[in-house]
Structures are given as C-alpha cells and as structure tokens.
Amino acid sequence: MMYRTLSVLLCAAAAQGFGSRPARLASKAPMRMSIGWNSHEAINQAPPSLVKGTDEEGGMRQRFEKLCREAQDSICKAIEEVDGEAKFTEDAWVRESGGGGISRVLRKGKVFEKAGCNLSVVYGTMPQEALAAATERGVDRAKGMKPGERVPFFACGLSSVMHPRNPFAPTMHFNYRYFETDGGVWWFGGGTDITPSYLNEDDMKHFHGTYKDVCDKHDPEYYQKFKKWADEYFYIPHRNETRGLGGIFFDDQNDRDQEKHFAFSKDCLAAVVPAYAPIVEAHKDDEYTQQNKEWQQMRRGRYVEFNLVYDRGTVFGLKTGGRIESILMSLPETAQWEYNFKPEEGTPEAEITKVFQTPRDWL
C-alpha cells in the first residue's frame, strides 16, 4: 500500500518530522512561509495549544490536536507501566512559520529498548509537487491552484514506534493525522501495524481482532479494505517481503461526514494500548537465545530498509527540511545485516519469513 498521504506529511510530521523545503532553498524566496532544517526552535514547555489562533474555536484543527495530545499522554503512561522502569523524556519545539511539536522518547528501559510518541502541528505553504508526493496516486489535492503556486496547508498528527528488547515481543507503529488546505480541502489518514520477529498466531488474532472490532463499529467493509491497504504499503520490493504482519491503514478519507471520520480516528487511537500492550506483557519475560536476538536484529534491519528507502513519510521529511530527530525517531537503536542470510527450512525464522512473503488473513 503506498501508505500515506499524510504519512508523508505526518509521519514526517509526527513520528517522523515534517517540512516544506530546506532552509537554504527557502532563503531564496523571501516572505514565503516555509519550513527548513533550522526552523525548529526548542521551548521549555509546549503551550496549551499549538493551533491557537489558526482555527475557529472548537474547529477540527483544535479538536484533532486535543485528541492527539490526550492520546499521547495516555499511551505514554500505559507504555511506562508496561516497562516498569524507564520514563519518557519530552522535548517541545515550535516553528516561526507556525505550529510545532512534542516529542517523547523512552530509551534503555527494562522492556523497551526504545519507544517514541511524537505530536506535530504544522501549517504554512508547500510546493504543489511536495503535496503530490504526499498524496495517494490519482488524488489531486491542489485542484484549482495555478501552476507553480504554493499550497497553504495545515497538518496535525500523532505517530509512534515501540521497539521491545525481547525478540518474542513485536514492534508496533501507528500514525493518525488530519490535513487540510486553505482551499477547503480536508482529509483524514492513519493506521496501526505490528512487526514481530517470530510468529504467534494468537497474538496476531488479538491484534487484528481488536482493530476489526473498531472497524466494524464504523463500517463492515473497513477492516478488509484497510488491512489490504496496510499489507500493500508495508512492502519491501527489493526483498520481496513485507516489513511486518500488517494491521490497518487508511488515507485520503473524506467521503463522508467529517465527524464520522474524526470518530473513527478517535476509536483507532483508543485501541492502540488494548491491541498491543497485552502482547508485550505476555512475551516481555520470555526466554530467548543469542540466535533469537540476532534474528530480531536482522528483522530490525528490514525495518530500517523500509523506513529509509520506501516510507514516504520519512523520505518526505528528509527531502523537505523536517526535524531530523523526529524523522529518525522511528528507527531502532540497534540493527544487523548478515550477508546473504537465509533461514534454515523448518525453523521458526523460516516460518515467519514465508508469511512476510505471502501476507495472510488472521481472522
């Protein structure tokens, strides 16, 4: 699935940084609102709203930011409880052109080697080609704009990646976002996906079942549609395999009442902890061997390959002056590449590799 419209913008924005163009290029166009590598200013504490003054009171911009900030608080609290030792550190930042973000990272925990949960609020202008890169194929979000005219936009999103220590506890990622242009075009996107190193079918049934319940509450066709989209997006062409075992993904969603899309995003965010935390709790203390750990490291290598080569949010952020620390937050602290490694037939490593090569249904 060519995953995100806004993943581009908001994986670049939230878990991965967001931008419009490098500062050195923006300097050639004075008086234009743009985002660059040095346009992020650290602050001691984030203001009550990073959207204040850009939206009517109670508008979708403010409401979506509030939703993301509340979810960031509750998810980080839950992950700290699962870890039992480490705490998230927080840094906040703003941009001169407007917006900013709150980045939270937990490192070297008892359960989690690294976990991050980033909020980003961005508004400014962007080139039409950058918007096209951020959008699903065939979707024109700059309709009506003159050739070469920059597109005024607003974007808000929350993104997260969790990397546990134990090879039998899977990595999890989510990103939920709202985007609009000053021309009145708006849409929602998001998704939650899981990346295990070893196959546990009960875990996959729990994870996918949790999100199917959420999807069914809103539309009986959502789960199959969004699961397929996730399987297609998190694909590594040069390996002929998926990054993980999927989940759901949706993008360019504006085909029904805005409130319905907002409610779906809200329920998806609320499902992150119940879908993921019980799996980590079940495996955080599993015994494992050095071979298990090395396999986890190799699978993390695949995670890095996908994020740096194919993930549109990461690539967009790197090319357009996003905040580097937020962009690279998604990467694991350790990974490994072994030349021409092929798991031995009949092993657990070979078993899950076959599933990476041929996505399957879990329910």
Q: What dihedral angle (degrees, nearest 10) is formed by the CA atoms of 329, 330, 335, 337?
A: -120
Query: Is 40 one of the annotated active-site residues of the chain?
Result: no
Beta strands 186-195 and 171-181 are antiparallel
Residue 184 CB coordination number (10 Å): 7
Query: Using the 8-state DSSP alphabet, how is residue 40 labeled?
Result: E
Q: For residue 318, what are the CA distances in angstroms to 9, 36, 253, 307, 308? A: 11, 10, 25, 11, 9
Going through the chain in order, the beta strands assigned E by DSSP cover: 40-43, 89-95, 99-107, 112-126, 151-164, 171-181, 186-195, 235-236, 241-242, 247-253
Please name the residues in contact with 299: beta carbons below 8 A apart, sequence gap of 6 or more: 195, 197
**Coil vs helix vs strand at 189:** strand
**Long-range pairs, 139-145, Cβ under 8 A, ≥24:** 139/5, 139/252, 141/5, 141/181, 141/185, 141/187, 142/181, 143/183, 143/185, 144/183, 145/183
**Coil vs helix vs strand at 219:** coil
**Coil vs helix vs strand at 119:** strand
Interior CA angle at 288 toward 356 and 272, to 5°? Answer: 55
Catalytic one of 173, 206, 208, 261: 173
Please name the residues in contact with 134: beta carbons below 8 A apart, sequence gap of 6 or more: 4, 5, 6, 8, 9, 312, 316
- In 3D, which of 124, 99, 88 has the Cα closest to residue 41? 99
For the annotated catalytic residues, the residue numbers are 173
